[in-house]
Amino acid sequence: MASLSLLRQNSFFSATLSSQPKPKYASPGRVRMSLQENAPTIAVVGVTGAVGQEFLSVLSDRDFPYSSIKMLASKRSAGRRLTFEDKEYVVEELTAESFDGVDIALFSAGGSISKEFGPIAVERGAIVVDNSSAFRMDENVPLVIPEVNPEAMANIKVGMGKGALIANPNCSTIICLMAATPLHRRAKVLRMVVSTYQAASGAGAAAMEELVLQTREVLEGKPPTCKIFNRQYAFNLFSHNAPVLSNGYNEEEMKLVKETRKIWNDKDVKVTATCIRVPVMRAHAESVNLQFETPLDEDTARDILKNAPGVVVIDDRESNNFPTPLEVSNKDDVAVGRIRRDLSQDGNQGLDIFVCGDQIRKGAALNAIQIAEMLL
């Protein structure tokens, strides 16, 4: 079925759909430069999950130096075998002793695991880069996007003789601020309104699998299997599945509000968000409206974004070609388009932009590995 074959082109999916996945990283015959005797030791916590698998892919792609690597997961996943850079590893059960001798621990196993084992890893001397929400709003833990606020972790390095915690922001925050920050630096954002269109990958590998399954079932006229979201996801969209708070916002929306203020070190910036789950595999899209303190015209904004690290501009009005989740999937850069003056505001005090980024990659694993690179 053609529609499903497009979904299966996702490299992670081809692994998860097999009964005994055995992912491999690194092209045959490629000489690896990353395995080095004097390099740091690494542990990947949650290695069998969607982001854990992407950690390995990004480590390999970027030739991240390591002398050894531990593959850690739950007791349920322990004993599984996977191949990384032409070497076979056995997944180990996560325990306190797992972090003995580890320099950098990459966590993506959920907030409860991070809260339990993150401090243990730090106590044993590891620098933890945590992808969960467990420590993001802790005032003593830096919340870092390397292209945005690298100074927040300037004093943390491998070899400093003690452990530390660094938090990876939420995926929707990373993708948004990659585009908004270069403009904020020029004209200072006073207010930001964000609407997100979030992919299945944000809810994990099981949600991605269920989207494929539901698509098949609906096209075949069968009732869809609804285990992850308890509703039809294929050919549908709905308010983000995060719990709704007493103020009417859900937790995902409040992450964007609070994390933006912390990362920008600006408690006064006004942020509001509406987060929607859409039937897309692994890349988020976001509509962002910005109000500035000083005027910023759309041509200047376009030039700023073209020169921003980690950003690519796709903004062709003539051919109506702008960013899409599909074309940024499995890509490192965040794509920005629909750059235009907000006609509801006077002069050049506001802009509208449309942003797309791979949720598993820059929204999670790539950002974490970039943080790890800054530790060296």
Catalytic residues: 171, 284
**CB-based burial of residue 371 (10 Å sphere; 0-12 exposed, 13-18 middle, 19+ buried)?**
buried
- The residue among 303, 352, 364, 362 whose CA lies nearest residue 328 is 362
Q: What is the dihedral of CA 31, 37, 39, 43, to 10 degrees?
A: 90
- Which residues are within 8 A (CB) of 190 and not within 5 positions of it... i.e. 6 or more apart? 269, 270, 291, 292, 293
Paired sense of beta strands 283-292 and 311-313, if any: unpaired
- For residues 160 and 125, what is the distance between their CA atoms, to the nearest angstrom? 9
Residues 6+ apart with CB under 8 A from 38: 67
Q: Which of 176, 177, 185, 146 is nearest to 304 (CA)?
A: 185
In sign, the C-alpha dihedral spanning 93, 95, 101, 105 is: positive
112 vs 132: CA distance, rounded Å = 9
Number of Cβ within 10 Å of residue 237's Cβ equals 12
